[in-house]
Structure 1
Amino acid sequence: MKRKHRKKHEDHVDESWLIPYADILTLLLALFIVLFAASEVDSEKFQKISESFNNELQGGTGVLEKQAVIEPFDEPFKDTTLIPQIQQDKPAKVNEEEMSPQQDQIELRELQKKIDSYIKAKGLSPRIVTELTSKGLLFKIKEGVLYSSGSADISQQARITVIELSNFLVTDPPRNIFIEGHTDNVPTYSGVFPSNWELSAARAINFMKILLENNNLDPKKFSATGYGEYQPTTSNDTALGRAENRRVEVLISSYE
C-alpha cells in the first residue's frame, strides 16, 4: 500500500498587509514630528525635518519641501482696531522734571489770577497781596487779618479765610510751600512769647496747621519759619512801616 506523503510545509500566511501598515505608521510619525516642530515655531528646525523626511520617504523633493512660510511670534498680537481709545482727550500728565520754566511761570500766573479774584471778592485787598517772583508765587497776609497784637491765636473768622486759601495750594504735582512769620522791632511783653522770634515762629506754625487740615495737601511739602524782626520789608521808624513788617508770607515754590 502506497503511503501518503505528509506536507512538509504548511501554507504560508499572506503578510502583504504589513507593508502599507508600516507606511501608515511612518507617515503618522512624520506627521506628529512635523506638527510638533510647527508648534515650536522654529523655521530652521522645520526646514531640517522637512528635508530629512522628504529624502527618506520620497527620495528627494516632496510636499514638505514647499511648506508654508511660518513667521515667528516674536511680538504679542496687536490689533489696534480692537484697543479702546481710553482717555483719548485727556492731556498727558506733566512731571515736575519735564515742566519748562516758561510753563511753570504760566501756571503760577494763572494761580495768581485765581487768588487775586478771591481776594477781591472777599474784600481782603490790600491786606492780602500777591507777587510773582523768581522763586515762585508769594502772597503776603498783613497785620489784622489773622492775629491780634502780640498774639499767635488765629480768630474764627480768620480761620475760615485760611481754610479757603488752602484750596489754592493744591497743585499737581504738589509744590513746596514755605510759610514765614515776621514781626516789627517792638519787643513783645507777652509772658507766652519771650521774644519776637517765638512770636513769629508760633504764628507761622499755627497758620500752617490750619492749612494742613486740608487733606489734599501733603505735609512733607510744607515748612514754617519764624524770622522775628530781622527781615523787614520797610523801615520800622514809623507806625505804618511797622504795620507793613508785621505779616505772614506764603511762598508757593516754582518747580526749579
Structure 2
Amino acid sequence: MSRRHKSEHHEEHADESWLIPYADLLTLLLALFIVLYAMNSVDSKKFEDMSRAFNVALDSGVGVLDNTSVVSNGEDLDRDDKNQTKPEDATTDAKRNELMKQEQQELEDLKKQIDKYIQTNGLTTQLDTKLNQSQLMITISDNALFPSGSSTVKPEARILAKAIANMLQPYSDYEIVVSGHTDNEPISTAEFQSNWDLSSSRAIRFMDVLLLNKNLNPKLFSAIGYGEYRPVDTNDTALGRSKNRRVEVSIIRKFMDATKAQEIPATPKA
C-alpha cells in the first residue's frame, strides 16, 4: 500500500526537461532579433564587433539580456563614426577652402578689370558683369555685337572680344561657356530657320573671335544657343526684348560652396 502511494505521488510531477531546449531557443531568437535590429544601420566594422560579442555571449553561457553592452557598444560606435573627423579629411577640407579663397580672389580681380574696361570705354549700357557662387558672367547686348538678324561680328565688337580674351588669358584654366539669347520674335531666313539657329550661331561666332588668342585653351570653351527661352526681361516691350537679345560669356567656378547661395552684386554703373 505504501509503495503504491509513493508511485502515484511521483507521477504527479510532469517531465520538465523540455524547458531547457525551449529556453535556449528563445534566447537564440532574441539574440537574432537584436542582431538584425543592429544590422539595420551597421557598417562592416560594427558588424564584426557585434558578431564577436554575440559569439562570446553564446560560448560563455551569459544571457543575452545580461550582456547589454552588445547594444550599447553599437550605439557608441555609431556616434563615434559620426563625430570622428579623420586627419586626411581635415587636410582635404583645409586645402579646398584655401583653393576656394584663391579662386574667389581671382574672379574678383578679373571682374574689376572688366568693369574698368567697361567704364573707360563708355560701354556701361552695353556690357554688364555679375559674380555669383557658380560663375563670373559677362553680359553683352546683341546690338553691340551683331547687325540685326545676323551673326556676323561687328568690327568694333571684334575689338571688344579680343580685349576680353586678353583679360581671360591669365585665367586660362577656367572653363568658359559662351551662350546666345534672342527675344521671342520669330525669325525665318535663308540663313536662320529659327531663333535657335540665330542664338547658336552668334555664340559660336563670338567664341571664334575670343579663340583668336592662342594662349586660351579651346578644350575649355563651349558655345550654346538658348533661343528665346531664357529671357531676363519681358518680351512685351521693345526695351525688354532688347535686354533679352544678348551674348553671355561665363567663367565657371571650379569650386562651388552650396552653403552660400547669395549672389555677389555687380559693380554699380556710373
Q: Scaled by the length of structure 1, what TM-score is found?
A: 0.60
Aligned to 2:121: 122
Check if 1:178 corresponds to 2:159: no
Check if 1:151 corresponds to 2:150: yes
Percent identity over the alignment is 45
SS in 2 for 1:171: helix
Q: 184-193 or 196-205, which moves further after superposition?
A: 184-193
- Structure with greater proportional helix content: 2
Whole-angstrom distance in 2 between the partners of 1:173 and 1:191: 37
Whole-angstrom distance in 2 between the partners of 1:244 and 1:173: 29
Q: Superposed, which structure 2 residues align to 1:94-113 within 5 Å?
A: 99-113=98-112
Aligned to 1:244: 243
Gaps of 5+ in 2: 1-94, 256-270
- Deviation of 1:157 after TM superposition, in Å, equals 1.6
- Alpha-carbon distance change, 201 to 172 in structure 1, aligned in 2, over 3 angstroms: closer
* 1:8-49 CA-partner distances (Å, limit 9, x unpaired): xxxxxxxxxxxxxxxxxxxxxxxxxxxxxxxxxxxxxxxxxx
Whole-angstrom distance in 2 between the partners of 1:172 and 1:193: 34
Whole-angstrom distance in 2 between the partners of 1:165 and 1:191: 32
- Alpha-carbon distance change, 193 to 172 in structure 1, aligned in 2, over 3 angstroms: closer
Q: Scaled by the length of structure 2, what TM-score is found?
A: 0.57
C-alpha contact 2:172 2:215 (8 A) present in aligned 1: no
SS in 1 for 2:216: coil
Whole-angstrom distance in 2 between the partners of 1:171 and 1:99: 19
- Deviation of 1:103 after TM superposition, in Å, equals 2.1
- Deviation of 1:99 after TM superposition, in Å, equals 5.0
Whole-angstrom distance in 2 between the partners of 1:224 and 1:186: 22
Letter in 1 for 2:184: N
- Alpha-carbon distance change, 172 to 234 in structure 1, aligned in 2, over 3 angstroms: closer
Aligned to 1:202: 201
* 1:72-109 CA-partner distances (Å, limit 9, x unpaired): xxxxxxxxxxxxxxxxxxxxxxxx97852222111111
**Structure number with bigger Rg:** 1
C-alpha contact 2:145 2:153 (8 A) present in aligned 1: yes
- Deviation of 1:209 after TM superposition, in Å, equals 0.5
C-alpha contact 2:177 2:221 (8 A) present in aligned 1: yes
- Alpha-carbon distance change, 197 to 122 in structure 1, aligned in 2, over 3 angstroms: same
Query: Aligned-pair RMSD on alpha carbons?
Result: 1.6
Whole-angstrom distance in 2 between the partners of 1:238 and 1:249: 21
Letter in 1 for 2:132: T
Letter in 2 for 1:167: N
Aligned to 1:55: none
* 1:179-217 CA-partner distances (Å, limit 9, x unpaired): 000000000132210000000000000000110010110
Whole-angstrom distance in 1 between the partners of 2:254 and 2:226: 24
Whole-angstrom distance in 1 between the partners of 2:98 and 2:199: 34
SS in 2 for 1:163: helix
Q: 100-109 or 133-142, which moves further after superposition?
A: 100-109
